[in-house]
Structure 1
Amino acid sequence: MANRQPQKADQIYEMLRRAIVMLEMKPGSPVAEKEICSVYNVSRTPVREAVQKLAEEGLVNVIPHSGTYVSQISFAGAEEGFVIRRSLEVEGVRRAASRATSEAEALKNLDDITVNMTRILEQGQHDTYIDADDALHSTVAKMSGMTRLWKFISMAKVDLDRMRQLSAPVPGHLERVTEQHIQIVEAIRRGSPDQAELAMRIHLDSSFEVMSSLIRGARGIFVEETDR
């Protein structure tokens, strides 16, 4: 019984986080703790723990005497996260390529993921693409041999994940992303750190460029930053 509350808090956190990242819970929308308690049939304690964790990530704002709201996306924060993520992923993919000969199972997993990505697009299930995307990048991170790398990448890309959802409907974008993923996998398979780094840089830079181009048309989602 003692472990049930933390488990409930973790489950609620994961469900709320996904809803926020997928933009199902829009920036500025209230996070109603009473409603969440009712929906998941839990007490206020695990809900508050989950909300606190989301606040620490910057995904919600807790305003005293007002309520809790899904935070708007800070482009400056997203750009900072992008720079950090790119540095980490580049180092990770270089190490993954240098270890490719001893990572046959991981390479098979990467192949399976890219096949699944193509299937997702053929079936028009764009809302599930984010899971396959994360699976590929986390597998590359694990191949690097650095056990905490994916954790740090995940922390850096919180705002980028929400921006990624904005770019998903752009015609041809996910198809290009899938092809870039295939190029990354092939460079790793060849055991070429330089080629793997180039493929990763092209992928991350082009994706961020597409995401950045959508800001003006996404009213209410981004914080207004006058110095941008």
Structure 2
Amino acid sequence: MLKNIDTQRGETGTAARTAAARPAQKANQIYDVLRRSIVLLDMPPGSVLAEKEICLRYGVSRTPVREAVQRLAEEDLVEVRPHSGTYVSKIDFAVAEEGFVIRRALEIESVRRCAERVTPEGVARLDGLVRRMRDILRQEALGDYLEVDDAFHGLIAGVSGYPRIWKFIDMAKVHLDRMRQLSAPVPGHLAEVTEQHAAVVRAIERRNADQAELAMRIHLDGSFAVMRSLYQDDALFAGQAP
């Protein structure tokens, strides 16, 4: 009898935990969808984020939507204005630049270790992503570039033996990513970025940490210079770059 009661309690506890996990899972899903839309500028700065419409679109209650919005607000991606509504935040240059500084510092360490630890298989995977970037440029599918770009840098972190580095970078660079998306249509920019990626791979393949660091610095600093030059539209940005 005791065994049956314990079993029943265990089953009940499992069911309760599963039911409790569902709203959290839905909140995570809504958060991921909204965050991606904001980063890719499908929801540009200043646009309205209507909770009721999101609930209807994804067939969820207000609770997971509000939890997702709260997480976005904590990242300064949305602004909740009492008695007014929720709006996608403008891009704050200071926050984006801070993300760039954090990213550069961590990526330098990542690429140096990658050059020391890389295998032929790792080089082949990096080369495959560079080829994918070139295909995207030929197809003019610029909306797909950012994801492959992130996969490239994430793989470097993975090969380095410190995969969590990319998780920290991804959290720090969310505002920078919106500026990256703005810079994508600049004529010739992504073509240059792609060749910079290729230069990073060649340095890694030679297992030369100093050259890999230099190639990564050139790539990141050059990309940020292009993004900085676009920082002038008051409709998208909060303030002006110093």
Which amino acid in structure 1 is aligned with residue 124 of structure 2? K
Alignment map for 1:182-197 (pairs within 5 Å): 182-197=198-213
Unaligned runs of 5+ in 1: none
SS at match of 2:238: coil
Which amino acid in structure 2 is aligned with residue 193 of structure 1? A
Alignment map for 1:142-221 (pairs within 5 Å): 142-216=158-232, 218-221=233-236
SS at match of 1:115: helix
Partner of 1:134 in structure 2? 150
Unaligned runs of 5+ in 2: 1-17
Alignment map for 1:30-49 (pairs within 5 Å): 30-49=48-67
Partner of 1:17 in structure 2? 35
TM-score w.r.t. structure 2 length?
0.89
Whole-Å separation in 2 of the counterparts to 1:128 and 1:179 = 17
- After TM superposition, what 4+ stretches of structure 1 lie above 6 angstroms from structure 2? none
SS at match of 1:108: helix
Partner of 2:239 in structure 1? 224
Whether 1:83 and 2:101 are equivalent positions in the alignment is yes
CA offsets 1:146-173 (integer angstroms, 9 cap, x no match) = 1310111112211110001111001100
SS at match of 2:91: coil
SS at match of 2:235: coil
Whole-Å separation in 2 of the counterparts to 1:187 and 1:51 = 42
Alignment map for 1:61-100 (pairs within 5 Å): 61-100=79-118
Which amino acid in structure 1 is aligned with residue 176 of structure 2? L
CA offsets 1:176-226 (integer angstroms, 9 cap, x no match) = 00000011111111101100000000000000000100112x23110025x
Considering only CA atoms, is the larger Rg found in Structure 1 or Structure 2?
2
C-alpha displacement at 1:109, in angstroms?
1.6
C-alpha displacement at 1:80, in angstroms?
1.4
SS at match of 1:215: coil
Which amino acid in structure 1 is aligned with residue 34 of structure 2? L
Which amino acid in structure 1 is aligned with residue 217 of structure 2? R
C-alpha displacement at 1:93, in angstroms?
0.4
Whether 1:53 and 2:68 are equivalent positions in the alignment is no
Aligned identity (percent) is 62
Whole-Å separation in 1 of the counterparts to 2:49 and 2:146 = 23
TM-score w.r.t. structure 1 length?
0.94
